[in-house]
Amino acid sequence: MNELVKDGLKLVVITLVAGLVLGFIYDLTKKPIALQEDKAQQEAYHAVFPDAADFKEVEGFSEEAASKVISEYDNPIEDHGGDQITAAVTALDASGNVLGYIFNVTTSKGYGGDIVLTVGISSDGTVNGYSVLSIAETAGLGMHAADKGDDAWAAQFEGKKAEAFTVVKDGSGADDDTHIDAISGATRTSKAVTGAINSCLAYFRSLEGGNQ
């Protein structure tokens, strides 16, 4: 019996020590991880609104209210159901004037799972573009949605003003602001990203001044 008690005490001590070590490591890494995430978010904000001097959370924003707006938006062309806007901020110039809105949106419709984007929309409804926060699509195919540069697939959205975008596979995207040419071999990814941006446009129009 004494041996059983000793073994039990040893197990308790090991468990306690392991828990303390894990807790210490968590506390040690929590702040750097949070700082890195905040840095990545700020970089995404500036990517979609490079002229902004400051960013401010939209007063009264709630994920539930945003989800309700999205669910009531009737766009049968590109499925947006289940998209979730998790953050909404205003982009401000140096004088504090509102340049537009920025949204973090998550779509579960990617081929490789959730895709998380930061989307910028100017006050007049023009899409500035998007920045990818998280994506796990197929390399060489859907991952092209995360490419940057003037020739990247994402550039098709920049400077376009539309109530909603539609993915096409006939190369007509350059001729119509509402059409987006699909990534070759990755139509599902293309529709997921496009649907997420449509969700942001729908919520944008529900905000004060968003119907300009």
Which of 97, 100, 125, 115 is CA-nearest to residue 45? 100
CA dist 173 to 31, 74, 96, 167, Å? Answer: 44, 22, 35, 8
pLDDT tens, position by position, 1-19? 567 666 667 777 778 777 7
- Neighbouring C-beta atoms of residue 24, cutoff 10 Å: 10
pLDDT tens, position by position, 13-70? 778 777 777 766 666 665 666 667 778 888 999 999 999 999 999 999 999 989 888 8
Verdict on whether the full-model pTM lies above 0.85: no
- What tokens were used for 85? 């806007």
